Chains A and B, each alone.
Chain A
């Protein structure tokens, strides 16, 4: 009897819980909000997936002995960035402006209800920081890399973001950077340059005037990474509309596609003309160059204009990689500084040329071009300067580079104790004799299963 009455009570409770609380019928307004949310959240997850792309590109384009190290760096970047952007970065970037320089509230998302916007911006912050990972590959200590990532995501990137995407002084001037050629890519590449200047080239990369090739160990892996980045970029640019705008979203995605496709073709053709053969791995970089190039102007460049932007990106990429490697002797194993920096500058400047509303080629005069140039210079000075200073300080405290022996042995073994690929398993079976001599240890699972041993 008691049991029965309890079950009736439980049954009634269950019924009560399924009574719809939000009984109000959806209005056009709530539906619009929902559709916008679905698009921005989906775009955010696409941007998140770009980190898989970065991981594969960077590990494929470098040597097998450093693959685990690169995987760890990339996982650390997205993890550290997500948490620090929640704690402090988002507040510094989008909080109440102090003198148009820096945000000052909203830490821990205090007083903010736009969690969707936070998620979208957090994965962007991680993207900016992870650009450094490729440039410093194969020689930086993981601990030093962590400190640089902390500085980037907690301070250096949010400040740039505040200048351009919040109530900052560059935004006030009319500086235009739709999805972040400057905010994300140029900031990351400038930081990468700053770290590499202190870190130096990999052992054996430059011998006097001779530039040695250190080939990547798995280009197919890198190619998959580029495709994943390409896919993710439709969220990166497409989601920067921050709404499922029926006109803007398709055109942003279309110009992203056209620019990257034309950049791949122009890079491939240009390497054929310049070097006599079509160079696959730099052509893959070409796709990324075209993507970075259109990122700033994706909302205001026409379909035809985007093809021109892409073609120029592809050629700039090849010349940029050659210039950095052969002339400046800046060792950037995956071409990150060129892809994100040089093509980032080009993309930002391209807004001043190709913008259908303010661009020089559309009768807008040179004022937008000038504003774009000021933004580029300001961001380069800020990022290169601050990161170089910060890296120099932590390098004084403890060298940011692994030892000569560790670099030769490979960072996977030196820093993590094992390899990504074991080249011959049979050679690794150590201490077999001892195993036979010792009584086998029976684990809990075996004992519970009444293992006969």
Chain B
């Protein structure tokens, strides 16, 4: 099992979610996040004074999936979340030691399907 963590533009989420549903990924955790990377912040204006916003709103999407699904999911993310401009975000992939469904106590692959 692998955990895939995606940090990306909020407006790309709907399209990404729909594509993931199509290949049978129904479970995910989504968090409103803020971040900064190569895309430095932006300049705002309030009552005549400019100010810097250094971190921008992003969404963090976490998926725990079977090892064989990882490549397909990554290619979907690259297709949907790529706008070509800086600020598209990152994908992090990490191993998962165990997964347990709280309701039934099932473990491993059964717990994430």
A and B interact physically: yes
| Residues of A that sit less than 8 Å from B by CB | 204, 408, 413, 416-419, 423-424, 427-428, 430-431
Residues of A near B97 (CB, < 8 A) are none
Assembly CA distance A413 to B55 (angstroms): 15
Chain B residues near A424 (CB, 8 Å)?
34
Q: Which of B40-48, B60-68, B104-112 contacts A (4 or more CB under 8 A)?
A: B40-48
A408-B11, A427-B34 are known contacts. Are A418 and B55 too (CB-CB below 8 A)? no
The answer to whether B44 and A418 touch across the interface, beta carbons within 8 angstroms, is yes
- A430's nearest neighbour on chain B, judged by CB, is B52
Within 8 Å CB of A430, what residues of B? 41, 51-54
Q: How many whole Å from A290's CB to the nearest CB in chain B? A: 36
Q: Is B14 an interface residue (CB 8 A)?
A: yes
How long is the Cα–Cα vector from A419 to B57 in the complex, in angstroms? Answer: 13
B contact residues, range = 10 to 19
- The listed residue (B14, B34, B41, B52) touching A204 by CB distance below 8 A is B14
Asked if residues A428 and B53 are in contact (CB atoms below 8 Å), the reply is: yes
In the bound complex, residues from chain B placing their C-beta under 8 Å from that of A408 are 11
A413 to B43, CA, bound (A): 9
Which chain B residue lies CB-closest to A434? B52
Query: In the bound complex, what is the Cα–Cα distance between A417 and B51 (angstroms)?
Result: 9
Complex formed: what's the CA distance from A125 to B11 in Å? 38
Can you list 6 A-B contacts (CB < 8 A)?
A418-B44, A427-B34, A427-B53, A427-B55, A428-B51, A430-B41
In angstroms, how far is the closest chain B Cβ from the Cβ of A84? 27
Give the residue among A416, A424, A430 with the most B Cβ atoms within 10 A.
A430
Residues of chain B within 8 A (CB-CB) of A428 are 51, 53
Rounded to whole angstroms, the CA-CA distance of A204 and B55 in the bound complex is 25
In the complex, residue of chain B having the shortest beta-carbon distance to the beta carbon of A407: B11
Q: In the complex, given contacts A417-B50, A418-B46, A427-B34, what are 8 additional A-B residue pairs having Cβ atoms less than 8 angstroms apart?
A: A204-B14, A417-B45, A417-B46, A423-B57, A427-B54, A430-B52, A430-B53, A430-B54
Contacts of A413 in B (CB 8 A): 42, 44
Q: Measured between alpha carbons, how far is A417 from B41 in the docked complex, in Å?
A: 13
A204 and B53 alpha carbons, distance in the complex (Å): 27
Distance in angstroms between the alpha carbons of A428 and B41 in the assembled complex: 10
With A and B bound together, what is the CA distance between A215 and B50 in angstroms? 31
Q: Is the CB of B45 within 8 A of A416?
A: yes
Cα of A419 to Cα of B50 in the assembled complex, Å: 13
Task: A232 to B44: give the CA distance in the assembly, Å.
Answer: 36
Given the complex of chains A and B, what is the CA–CA distance between A423 and B42 in angstroms?
16
Closest Cβ–Cβ distance, residue B81 to chain A (whole Å): 14
Q: How far is the CA of A419 from the CA of B51 in the complex (A)?
A: 12
In the complex, chain A residues whose CB is within 8 Å of the CB of B51: 428, 430
Interface string of B8-40 (1 = CB under 8 A from A): 000100100000000000000000101000000
In Å, the complex CA distance between A301 and B90 comes to 65
Interface centre among A204, A423, A427 (most CB of B within 10 A): A427
Residues on B with beta carbons closer than 8 Å to the beta carbon of A204:
14
CA distance A423 to B10 in the complex (A): 14
Given A204-B14, A408-B11, A427-B34; A417-B44 close (CB under 8 Å): yes
Which residues from B are CB-within-8-Å of A427?
34, 53-55
State in angstroms the CA–CA spacing of A137 and B51 once bound together.
26
The smallest C-beta distance from A421 to any residue of chain B, in angstroms, reads 12
**Smallest distance from the beta carbon of A65 to chain B beta carbons, Å?**
10
**Smallest beta-carbon distance B37→chain A, Å:** 15
**Within the assembled complex, what's the spacing in Å between the Cα atoms of A204 and B11?**
10
| Nearest B residue to A431, CB-CB | B52
Tell me the smallest distance from the CB of A213 to a CB of chain B, in Å: 12
* Distance (whole angstroms) from the CB of B53 to the closest CB of chain A: 6
A418 contacts across to B, CB distance below 8 A: 44-46
Docked Cα-Cα span, A413 to B56, in Å, equals 12
CA distance A424 to B51 in the complex (A): 15
From A424, which residue of chain B is reached at the shortest CB distance? B34
A417: chain B residues within 8 A (beta carbon): 43-46, 50
Residue of A nearest to B12 (CB): A408
Q: Determine the chain A residues whose CB is within 8 A of the CB of B52 once the complex forms.
A: 430-431
- With a cutoff of 8 Å between Cβ atoms, the chain A residues found around residue B41 in the complex are 430
Residue of A nearest to B14 (CB): A204
The 10 closest A-B CB pairs, nearest first, are A417-B45, A430-B52, A418-B46, A430-B54, A408-B11, A418-B44, A427-B55, A417-B44, A427-B34, A431-B52
Residues of A within 8 A of B14 (CB): 204
Residues of A within 8 A of B46 (CB): 417-418
Query: Residues of B contacting A416 with CB < 8 Å?
Result: 45
A72 to chain B, nearest CB (A): 13
Shortest CB distance B60–A (Å): 14
Residue of A nearest to B46 (CB): A418
Closest to B83 in A: A405
Look across to chain B and name the residue whose beta carbon is closest to the beta carbon of A412: B44
